Amino acid sequence: MTGQEDTAASADSAASGDGAPVHDLAELLKQLGPQVLGILVRRGADFAAAEDAVQEALVEAFRRWPNDQPDEPKAWLVTVASRKYVDAVRSEVARRRREERFHEEPDQGATEQADDTLLLLFLSCHPALPPASAVALTLRAVGGLTTRQIAQAYLVPEATMAQRISRAKRTISGERLTQPGDLGVVLRVLYLVFNEGYTGEVDLAAEAIRLTRQLARTSDEPEVAGLLALMLLHHARRASRRNPDGQLVTLADQDRSLWDTATIADGVRILQTALAKDRLGEFQVQAAIAALHADARSTAETDWTQVLEWYDELARLTDSPVVALNRVVALGEVDGPLAGLKALASVDPGVPRHAAVAAYLHEKAGDLAQARDLYAVAARAATSTAERDHLTRQAARLHTDGT
Amino acid sequence: MAKYLLLKHYRGGPERSPQGCIPMDQWTPQEISDHIGFMHHVADTLRERGEFVEGEGLSPDGAFVRYDGEGKPPVTDGPFAETKDLIAGWMVIDVDSVDRAHEAAAFLSSAPGPGGVPLNEWIEVRAFMAEPPVITE
């Protein structure tokens, strides 16, 4: 146990980035909920039942604390949640007419917040869960978000999200995690949360960074640091990704003065520490590429040779066609658009953004008519309205230029 | 985690099964109840799985409407009883993969028709536009 200030600081948000005192009750409960759940689970409670118990304790706290806040909020929650847990398990046992009493009343052991985070992440990102369920459970059990907030973030009804979470808990009910969970699955789930972007009132990217930072405190696996660095380096560019009208701005056209240099420095520092461990993985490589972009004052000044080398490395680590496509873009910058187009011929044409890359390379090569047609094809294949509109404007631009 | 629209058509789409060609007002009342009951069952199942977003039926009657200039009332046209396509209703689901969306659509399509035989109606599946991912390069 590292003390109350420390645990509060450890749950800081990536956006605020410091351990400022928590005034808001909802925010306090958001921070404490996962900590209390971690304590119960570490003491041997069943994850699914403990999650229910903690939710009930939080509801009670929300009702009672405005008039009567305990001196030790976390201890209060642990006590109340433990009682509710034991009651629930006992009534369940009674319901099943079992005679034995629940034997695992949580004992009072030393707490280690960091290990609890890892434990909860392993359970919430259990390999038996489909991605959407693991995401939802992670945001609630580890992130401390309410079901309503998660539902809003993913634009589904609250009842649907509640079902998704309770179904996920049923799936992993009884799992005691006798061996370490699958860190790879955890990282993919956190990546998914981050990459969803920001649609609702909850800042999913900031949540993903906060959770990955918490994980990085407990794990010296360089891929964890690699993922954190990757998130930070992309998050730093957030203000420049859309123009004031909400239109998508590509990397080449982003106003780099809007980039958050402190976050970039943070990401680069974390990445360097990870790379020094000499156990390379996909996220570290992706972060290295993002760092090279973050380091350049313009696309013209970008060290594309190094970017390409990292893509070669990434292609060795994964056979993803998306990587092959992105490598083509870098190759086009290093060896010219014709070399890029030649390499593009061996990339699966079904990969998203294939036509967009082809259009870009044709434009660079001076074949504007072909580029215009391909931008139109790419617009039809786009999976978001922002990309579709951007690509349509690209086609229109070449059309208007009189080609 | 992607949203899909499952569209149920009165008309249009690929050729229908023989049962699908029999108008609903020529079914028995029980067959109609069973069909509608199955639709509720599909929605409930999707709800229970945490995949249901919304679902609505549409009146077959409608009109085409357009702007006709400043200060003028909107122009309406129709109804067009003989238009090629007519949408009966929709369901929106939020699922892990396109395969799962197709599975859900096939489930919807298995709704019973005359004689309790699955209608094998064609369900149109359309992906919602998503948010652009943060990490692209």
Which residue among A160, A205, A238 sits closest to B52, beta carbon to beta carbon?
A: A160
Sign of CA dihedral A174, A180, A181, A187: positive
Q: Is residue A97 part of a domain?
A: no
Decide if pLDDT at B111 tops 60: yes
Look at residue B104 and tell me whether its pLDDT is greater than 90: yes
What mean pLDDT comes out for the span A328-343? 97
Other Cβ atoms closer than 10 A to A358:
25
The chain-wide mean pLDDT, for chain A, equals 87
Mean pLDDT of A339-365: 96
Q: Which of B47, B54, B95, B134 would you mutate first to test chain A, the one with the most A CBs within 10 A?
A: B134
pLDDT score at A16: 37
**Binary contact (A197, B131; C-beta < 8 A):** yes
- Smallest Cβ distance to B134: which of A163, A234, A387? A234
Whether chain A has a CB inside 8 Å of the CB on B43: the answer is no
Test the B interface: residue of A133, A137, A152, A160 with most B CBs within 10 Å: A160
Between the two ends of chain A, the Cα-to-Cα distance in Å is 69
Residue A114 lies in a domain: no
Q: Tell me how close the Cα of B94 comes to any Cα of chain A, in angstroms.
A: 7
In this structure, the answer to whether residues A237 and A271 fall within a common structural domain is: yes
**Res. A197: pLDDT tops 70:** no
Residue A365 CB burial class (10 angstroms; 0-12, 13-18, ≥19): middle
* pLDDT tier for residue B22 given thresholds of 50, 70 and 90: confident
Q: Least CA distance to A170: which residue of chain B?
A: B49
pLDDT surpasses 80 at A103: no
Asked whether the bond before B79 is cis by omega within 30 degrees of 0, the reply is: yes
In this structure, what are the phi and psi dihedrals at residue B48, rounded to the nearest 5 degrees? -65, -30
The alpha carbon of residue B74 and the mean position of all alpha carbons in its chain are separated, in whole angstroms, by 28
Whether residue A76 has pLDDT greater than 50: yes
- Which of B1, B52, B131 faces A135 most closely, judged by CB atoms? B1
- In the predicted structure, residue A164 carries a pLDDT above the cut 60: yes
| Confidence check: pLDDT of A111 > 60 | no
In a domain, A311, yes or no: yes
**Interval A209-228: pLDDT, tens:** 999 999 999 899 999 999 99
Nearest one of B79, B31, B28 to B58, comparing CA atoms: B79
Tell whether A341 and A298 lie within a shared domain. no
Quote the ipTM score: 0.87
What is the average pLDDT across B6-13? 84
CB contact B131 to A (< 8 Å): yes
Based on the fold, state whether residues A301 and A391 are members of the same structural domain.
no
Among A33, A34, A31, A51, which residue's Cα sits nearest to residue A175?
A51
Q: Which of A297, A318, A339 is the last residue of a domain?
A: A318
Greatest mean pLDDT among A260-264, B59-63, B114-118: A260-264
End of a domain among A318, A350, A368? A318
Domains contained in chain A, number: 2
Per DSSP, the residues of A331-357 read HHHHH-HHHHHHHHTTS-TTSTTHHHH
Instruction: Note whether residue A180 is domain-resident.
Output: no
Q: What is the pLDDT at residue A177?
A: 63
Above 50 in pLDDT, residue B19?
A: yes
The verdict on A335 and A291 lying in the same domain is no
Separation CA A318–CA A311 (nearest Å): 10
Question: Last residue of some domain: A262, A293, A318?
Answer: A318
Is the same domain home to A237 and A270? yes
pLDDT confidence of residue A2: 36
Domain that holds residue A372: 331-403
Pair A301, A233 in one domain: yes
Strand bridging mode B52-57 / B86-95: antiparallel
Determine the distance in angstroms separating the CA of B51 from the nearest CA of chain A, rounded to an integer: 6
CB-CB under 8 Å, A383 with B135? no
Please indicate, yes or no, if residue A21 is contained in any of the structural domains: no
* Residue in chain A lying closest to B137 (CA): A326
The per-residue pLDDT for B52 is 97
Decide which of B1 and A326 is more confident. Answer: A326
In a domain, A380, yes or no: yes
Whether A106 has a pLDDT exceeding 50, the answer reads no
A394 assigned to some structural domain: yes
Q: Is pLDDT at A101 greater than 50 in this prediction?
A: no
Q: How confident is the model at residue A281 (pLDDT cuts 50, 70, 90)?
A: very high
Q: Is residue A215 in some structural domain? A: no
